[in-house]
Structure 1
Amino acid sequence: MKILCWNCRGVGNPATVRELKQLLVANDPDIVFLCETKCHSNCFPRIRYRCRMDGCMAVNAEGKSSGLALMWRERVKVTIQNYSKYHIDSLVNIEDGEIIKFTGFYGHFDPILKKHAWDILKRVKRTVRKGWIVGGDFNAIRNNAEKEGGRRKPRNSMDEFCEFLEELSLTDVKTKKGWFTWSNNREGNGLVKERLDRLLVSDGIINKMPFLNTSVIHQSIEDTGKNLGQWQYQRYKSMKAKINVLEKKIDNLIDGPNSERSSKLLKSIRDNLGHLSLNREFTDKEILAAFNQMDPRKAPNIDGLPGSFFKEHWHTLGVDVLRMCHETLNNTKNVNSLNETLLIMIPKIDNPCDMTNFRPISLCRFIYKIVSKVLANRMKEVLPSCISLNQSAFVPGRMIHDNMLIAHELMHHLFSSKNGPSKGCVIKLDMSKAYDRVEWDFFENVLLKFGFSDEWVNKIMCCVCTVRYKVKCNMQLTDTIVPERGLRQGDPLSPYLFLFCMEVLSRMLIDAQENLRIRGIHVVDRLDSYLGLPIPIGKKRSKAFKNVAERTARRINSWSKCLLSYSGKEIFIKSVLQSIPTYAFSIFLAPKTVLEEIQSMMCRAWWGSGDNKRNWNMLAWEKMCHPKGMGGLGFRDLRLFNVDLLGRQVWRLLNHKDTLCYRVLSSKYFPDRDVFHPKKVDRPSFTWQNILKAACILYDGFDWCVGNGRNINIWMIIGDSKAFRDRLSKWIEACIRSDFNSKCPRCGNDTKTLIHALKDCPKARAVLEDGGFNNMLLEGVFVTCTDWIEEVARVLDITAISDFITVLWNIWNSRNNRIFRGAEEEAKIIWERASALSKDFRIFNLVEVPLLPRTRVDKKWKKPAPGVIKINADAAVKERYVYFGLVARDCDGFVIGGRMGTWNKRMDVLWAEMNALKESIKFASLNNWEKVEIETDCADLVNHFKKRNNDVTSIGYCLRVLFGQTEQFNFFDLLWAPRCCNRVADLLCNLARDKSCNMDFNMDYPLEIHDSVLNDAIN
């Protein structure tokens, strides 16, 4: 029997679960005990399922600490006896029918709570009848041999733990491999290791299992890592050269003379990669992503279970839903039980009188929708390579607006051509019941012709062909209907499948056009609309947008009878009215008269009462469009909103040059450059005029970015590069040495030695005399400073030696301040600071309970994890000056450095906070810290940082550059903290403002922040 005990320190992180799975695969334990899980017991059914364990018992965590769990396999029968927040007691029936007691235990780090946990284990001992095994994290050591580095443990605490083990009559099983089970992950002298985890057994277990042994797994994993590193070097040392050879072969295939053969070979490579991508095993991540994309408010199926039910009860149903999806997707289980569909008829017109006036909407089961959505998400990966550029809908990276822009360009070309419309024509196609008339055999053959594998086609056709309908009419359900063709409207997979049918039609039209087989086309004088928008736009442009104004008026009239509060009206205007013109405004720049008409309707809807009477507008609409923080209500200014939507089209023309829309517009308007530098065209189209206006506005907000600096010649900027380079390459040693003064900077004595700076200098002697050190310690001739300190150590006790060394350290700091900052301090001030520092040091190192009880505060500064340096940064803006402050502290709350300063530059608060972040990264890099987390009270900055990859603003670019500078750290994170938790950095900002100076400091921080630093460290 194998038992695995692990202090996981939080199992809510997916990386921890993956590490647990690796441990289970490598060691194959029968029983797993986890402590400090830091999560609710409801999370463990999912973890048990992912770890392929058969049984589980979990104890809830208290906030973000504690928490226990016991998991076991079916081959051992486990019965839970009792449990608490410190232990889980169980009876284990092993293979030969023998029953032993196993107790998973966690000893709290607090001395008082630890003894309470020991008392619980003593009570469990009274119920032991046969063999007993206790394993877990005891948070205690028996002697100093179980600790390496750091301060020694108090003798009385180790004696108490030994007496506790003797009282339990348990034997500590020595490890066969490894010894220490915990370390603080530091380097050098700061590294501390302890043996906190152990396995204790009774005498009966030792007699029955004489070959019992334990081992520390993490050390064997380190050894495995070293072996893997050697194996990787031997196996893959020439892999980079092989990759370069293959890349050259691919380049030769693309650019070589036999282009037809090369294209076929490359196409086969892409096809194979596509098959691998589609047929790979479906994972929990894909299923959960599809689940989160589903709208929980959609109408339910016959079972009456909407998506909101599954989202609300996911902690109970999640494991079963994942198992069902895995069986359907990976094991090709039949989906007949999930594919029962409720059919609802939605009228297309106000008074339907025929079946063609209804649109059938399929209400599928929610679990089937998850399966279908997973398949659709994977299908989207290959759509751009399968669907031609003629189709823009539902294909990732394309927009339906592209087709609208192309249609307007074509119509403009026909109507503005000097030869008249006789030289060309436009064909508009509209299909009736397109989804309902797709033949399944035809569709299956289309997928096979596109080159999809049989396995993938079978999965798709299983979803399409196993559907069963029930129609709900007049609140009654009909009998089951078995269809023989058609795709469902409401199935997440249907839009993507219909693209392949349209692709066949598109290619047939192209073939018919090339072979002159298109005949019998109905000719009309004009085309009213295309994709819901007017085409073309004539001279009376206000008339073309009349439909938008009418739709807005109809929606207001339909809601005017409802008694809405001002909160309801706000939601109605923002969510309903202002969304109506979005589609049209994405293509056209609406005339000013149309915008004013729509805005006046919204204004009447806000101030009106529905009785068609004239109302008093108490505030101008322009002011109501201001943000709420500036006194407005946050309504959209339609003119700015219109320009913003057109700016998206400009952005797409800059960044998506593989679309059909870009090819059409660039060939006509900017064939040689970009959208910002078009050529002059006679009679440009209305859509291009609108895009050009938005491009001019967007161009004004663009800034030049340095980039990687390859195109910048710094020597051309500074002038004569050769002369400057000559000066840099020649150093005069005598000049350099003359810059260093050999005299004492404080008293002018010619003897510049360490013992003079700390003992013989009058400034240093004055500090020592103020501290009460008598002449016996100060007199005498010593060659080195070490000899003097050793002589003093023979006279003073331990406490006095600590105070003496602290005074010397402050004397040295004051000397450095005199040299580098020109700040001379009085002897009394230096002594008082040293005395205060010694007292604080003793308080922080007390082993007993603190003298003052700690008050529980909801919002307090949190110490970083061991080995991590936390930097709190803040900035303040006043008139044309910016003040910043940052302070770095370790896991004990001690200040290890900081910086404050002033910038004579006008900027807003967000940019000031960003520059404070930049200073923090520079400061961390200067001190060579490896693990850094930075806290700021600016939520906007943190949000921009989290979304920096999708942020197209200038501050987003600057944050991406800053993030690139953090690659030198092993760990980096930017966190938000309330203002009350960033008090020290705020005080440094105020200090920089009052003193108007720039200053760096280490542990000798300004006294003004001492109280806040001490309060954060204690709390």
Structure 2
Amino acid sequence: MADRNGWHFTNNGKFTVKSGYQVERTYPDRDRLPLFIGPTVDVIKAFCWKIRCPPKIKHFLWQFVSGSVAVKKNLQARGMQGDISCARCGADEESINHVFFECPPAIQLMKDQKMGAETQDTIPQSITGRWCFTDGSWKEEDMFSGQGWFSTLPGFEGLMGATNICTPKEKGGLGFRDFKNFNLALLAKQLWRLVQYPNSLLARELKGRYYRLSDPIEVSKASKPSYVWRSLMAAQTLLKKGIRKSIGTGDTTLVWADPWIPSTPARPAIPRRPSFNPALRVADLLDPISKDWQHERLRELVIPSDIPLIRSLRPTRSTRPPSYCWNLTKSGVYSVKSGYQLAMDSLDDPEPDKVLKPSITALQAKVWTLKTTKKIKHFIWQALSNCIPVCNALSDRHCGTDRCCPRCGSDEETINHLLFECPPSVQAWALADIPYSPGSFPSSSIYSNLDHVLWRASDRGIPETILAAVPWVLWYIWKARNDKTFNGKEITPLETTQLARAEAESWRLAQIIDEPAEEIDGDTRHAMATPPPRTGPVCYTDASWHKDDTYFGGGMVLLTEDGTTTFGSFASNRVLTPLHAEFQTLLWAMKSSLQLDHSSMTFETDCLQLVNLIEEDDEDKWPSLLAEFDEFHLIRSMFTFCSISFISRSLNIRADLLAKGARTRGFTFSHVNSQLPSWMAQSANLREFF
């Protein structure tokens, strides 16, 4: 083979326009190209712009390497007069290298950050600031975690200790949004739309580029993806955690591979035996004619705990393209709220602590349920979290040296001392009619004291009218302390208590919503409890569902024009949500009406949501109810007239009792008769309700 020349500036030896342009720009004298032995300043400068950090820090690093940082030595070289000694340590000359690597505070900071020989490849945090280079992005660290330079000082515990302000309020946090997880939840919404609307313009464009033979849920890596696609793929893991594949007719769903079992999270079925057919489909578990589950085959192939979950699913009768449901909403549609909640829950450590410790999480969570203003709730939460700036805490944070109480002169002003042990505070609690309990209140623990006055005191017979003012007493004790500290004004305990009671009463009155009260006589009340007259037969339906029961129940009361009353009840395998139970009860009542030769019927239910979704008739908003919609459209086509309307629960008592009784019987059955069931004999007087 003849000798061939290779291009020196690419890895494969082939010439590229990009490398040629760089050589032309960087080395105009091409006859004397330098021989690189080590990294030059130009290489380091170029590397500065590739570091994953904010642009201002990239620019600062570039200035650092270029020697253009405005230290005193550089300022003097540019004609500015003045002292060039170091402002921090007093060294003779303040150069760039001295400021960042030779000055004693800089040396101590690098030691504290453990920047030894093993971490020479990391970027000094003294230069780059407090930024996290994770997941291909950067974010500023939480200022409340106390991880700044002052965290190395002895005795410093952080502004908010170990508390995460993004923890939900029901878990004892402040409930701030975590920007990263919230952004992932928003991106997952866009990815969900690609799944639900595959024929949209954007979905077709991305499909032709990234997932021609797959779908956005299953696609993995792509060649040279765009920024938009990389952003969508960042949310793919989150979407997979909460998504469930709809079984449809079962022809495209693999039993042992696809996540179709409605557990949390969704997963494939678990085989009963170690050997199984990996190509088994859900359609193979269905009766080919009735499309019901083959119970014997389920017991033969699947573990017993999965069988009730499988029976809660209904296959569709019409062929549909493969689709997904969101497992965390009853409609099956993804929501940003549920996605964000799933992302936050995934941050929790699934493994329990090996050492059980006393926790104040329950107390912090209860704070947000108090009947008071938001600022007082936040103040009490701060007291439980040790975040109130009393003298002792400020001294620990090097914000002062005096630890004495400004009101009584005690040696240390702690939060517990301020609110419960200081003599003015003790008098205020006595005037607020909170009794003194030796050994329990007041105690040396701030947690025990707050738990007593806010929650435990009611168990000891203290009236609610007295306890309602407790949050305001805590707040105005703090206000009185600040008036003494900053304004030199002395607020007596009596004034504190009176002001707290007045504010509590004002707030209580402000929460009362005035509604016009009209006098209703007996005839009007009887008319309100009586259903409007009907021109044709009417069927009242209701369902009874409980998450811990194996079965759900349904009931119906059918009234004809000639006064005949027909009662019906049935029980079936547990379904996913109460809405599924209401819908299936309506379908059962419609089929029962047809069997009784009623082709014109008005159905009434006390489930307003069911009435609304049937009126909208938008299946895209309810992917978890596709099978029910298919059967509803089929059965409704058999009626000459069929309407569904809402009725109040007070007018649907008999159907409700029938449904509850059917659920408690503990087995599947269906009963339709003109006689009231024997197990409803105790409620026979309700026959005259209508």
Range of TM-score over shorter length = 0.3 to 0.5
1 or 2, which has the higher helix percentage? 1
TM (norm. structure 1) is 0.25
Q: Tell me: higher relative CO, structure 1 or 2? Use CA pairs within 8 A at least 6 residues apart.
A: 2
Which structure has the greater CA radius of gyration? 1
The structure in which a higher percent of residues are strand is 1
